[in-house]
Amino acid sequence: MTLIGESLRSALNEQVGHEFHNANIYMFMCAFLRNKGLDNLAKLFETQHEEEIGHGKEFVSLLTDLNADVFIPEIDEVNTQFISIVGLAQLYLDREMLTTTSLGEILKLAINDNNYVVEQKMREMIAKQQKEYEEATSFLDKASLLPEWWQCALWDAAGG
């Protein structure tokens, strides 16, 4: 017997795909920055990649704990050329905003379904998300001050 309604189960499975897609985007950003010689900035996105994989695993664990079927949606290809660090930073912030919205929607579904287990997990994930949103906002603020790639070398040399 499953301990979760179909619409909530589906939303959580979609979130697994969303988290893994974010992970792929952040690994792509990491590689892109490394190819520009910006290794310290790249480390930030390597860490973000690992965090997103961890989030995806948390959702899979939640689903299996509720005896719900798990599916992982197809993950879109990531292949973007960034003209400036600002474009990269904006995508980072956009993804974190999208994640925050998605988690909020799942929280609403959990409340409507009286699923207190999922509700509690979503509140925990939203609290984590606040930190990631703040990091992305700060990154964009810094990127806006140094919009040219050559200027990013100074930022990178300072440790990212």
Q: What is the CATH number of the domain that holds 38?
A: 1.20.1260.10
- The reply to whether 13 falls in a domain is yes
For residue 126, the model assigns a pLDDT of 96
- The reply to whether 38 falls in a domain is yes
For residue 150, is pLDDT > 90? no
- The reply to whether 128 falls in a domain is yes
| 3 neighbors 117 (Cβ within 8 angstroms) | yes
Domain that holds residue 147: 6-72+79-157
User: 81-137: per-residue pLDDT in tens?
Assistant: 899 999 999 999 999 999 999 999 999 999 999 999 999 999 999 999 999 999 999
User: Distance between CA atoms of 124 and 65, rounded to whole angstroms?
Assistant: 16
**Overall number of domains in the chain:** 1
| 106 neighbors 129 (Cβ within 8 angstroms) | no
Average per-residue pLDDT in the chain?
A: 94
pLDDT band, very low/low/confident/very high, at 2 (cuts 50, 70, 90): confident
Residue of 123, 132, 64, 74 whose CA lies nearest to 98: 132
Which residues contact residue 16 at a Cβ distance below 8 angstroms, ignoring those fewer than 6 apart?
56, 59, 60, 63, 70, 72, 73
- The reply to whether 1 falls in a domain is no
- The reply to whether 131 falls in a domain is yes
- The reply to whether 149 falls in a domain is yes
- The reply to whether 84 falls in a domain is yes
